[in-house]
Amino acid sequence: MRSALRDEPVSVLDRILAILETVRESHGSATITQLSQATGIPKSSVSRLVGSLVRQRYLTRAEGGVSIGLRLFELGARATTPRRLTVAALPVLAELFNATGEHLNLAVQEGGEMLSVLSVRGRLRPVPSRAGMRVPSATTALGKAVLAFTRDETVLDPVLMRLDVTARHRLERELASVRHDAIAVDHCVTFPGVVGVASPILSAERLPVAAISVAGPVSDMDPDRIAPLVRHAALAVTNRLALQVA
C-alpha cells in the first residue's frame, strides 16, 4: 500500500478516487484505518464513504476490511466492450449468419436499454433494428439475456419497477429460466411478427458483457432450432474475449 499522502483530498470525488485507488493498490483488502493513513482522510469520513461505496457495489466487505467490488469490474468491461466485442464477434457472427440467414444483433446494456453494437441484415423487411439503435431491455430477447445475469440493482430494479405486479412476476420467472438455459426469447412483443432468440456473453465472473440475438419472422422461424446455434455463438464470443484478456 502506498505511503500516507501529505495533503488530504479536498473534494468528495477526490476522496472517493483516493480510497478506490488505495484499495486497488492493496492487492487484497484494506481496513478503514489503513485507508485513512494512506489517503490522509479522517477515519470518520473514510468510514462514511466506504459505507456508500459498499452499498453501490464499488467496494465489497472482505475479511480484514474492504476490497474492489463487482461494479468496478462491470464498468471496466463496458469501457472496452465495443472494440473488444467487434474483434471477438465478427467471425462468430459470420458463421451464425451462414447457419441461419436471419437478422443478427450484438448489443450491450445501456441503463434500461440495449444498444446495438453490430447488426447483420437478414431476410426481415423492414429491418427491426440496426447498429446504434436502442431497444428496451424488459421485452427484447437481447435485454432479457443480459438482465438475467445482471447483479447491479441500479439497472435491474428500475426495469422491474416500471412493470405492473403481474408483468413483473412474469419477467422474474422468465429471467430465472434464462439463467438456467442461457436462452431468452421474445415472441413478437417488441416487434410484431418478429421472434427473437438471444444468449448472453459473460465475463469470467459470470457478469453480462453483451448478448447475441437472431431475429426472424414468426411464420417460419423455429426458436427451438435457433436456440442452440445462438447459445454456441455467445459461448464462442465469450471464449474469444477470454483469450484476448489472457
Q: Within 10 A of 238 (CB to CB), how many other CB atoms are there? A: 21
> What's the total number of domains in the chain?
2
- For residue range 157-182, what is the model confidence (pLDDT) as tens digits? 888 888 889 988 999 999 999 999 99
Please tell me whether residues 29 and 104 are part of one structural domain.
no
In a domain, 87, yes or no: yes
pLDDT, averaged across the chain: 85
Last residue of a domain, one of 68, 92, 115: 68
What does the block give as the cell for 155? 439497472
* Closest among 158, 149, 160, 144 to 204, alpha carbons compared: 149
Please tell me whether residues 214 and 92 are part of one structural domain.
yes
Q: Within 10 A of 15 (CB to CB), how many other CB atoms are there? A: 20
Please tell me whether residues 142 and 195 are part of one structural domain.
yes
Please tell me whether residues 26 and 92 are part of one structural domain.
no
* Closest among 203, 190, 230 to 214, alpha carbons compared: 230
Band (78; pLDDT cuts 50, 70, 90): low
Instruction: Find the domain containing 27 and state its range.
Output: 12-68
pLDDT computed for residue 3 by the predictor: 41
pLDDT computed for residue 199 by the predictor: 97
Whole-number Cα distances in Å, 236 to 57, 202, 209, 233: 29, 11, 13, 5
Please tell me whether residues 107 and 59 are part of one structural domain.
no
**Average pLDDT of span 115-140:** 83
pLDDT computed for residue 83 by the predictor: 72
Strand segments, DSSP code E, in the chain are: 59-62, 65-68, 103-110, 113-120, 134-136, 184-187, 194-202, 208-217
In a domain, 7, yes or no: no
Please tell me whether residues 46 and 122 are part of one structural domain.
no
Q: Where are the alpha helices (DSSP H) in 186-222?
A: none
- For residue range 4-17, what is the model confidence (pLDDT) as tens digits? 444 555 678 888 88
CATH number of the domain at 100, please. Answer: 3.30.450.40
Please tell me whether residues 31 and 112 are part of one structural domain.
no
**Full-model pTM:** 0.66
What does the block give as the cell for 122? 437478414
Residue 111 has pLDDT above 60, yes or no: yes
How many Å apart are CA 95 and CA 98, to the nearest integer? Answer: 5
Q: What is the dihedral of CA 29, 32, 36, 37, to 10 degrees?
A: -60
How do 59-62 and 194-202 pair as beta strands?
A: unpaired
Residue 24 has pLDDT above 90, yes or no: no
Beta partners for residue 174, in sequence order: none
Residue 85 has pLDDT above 70, yes or no: yes
Residue 33 has pLDDT above 80, yes or no: yes
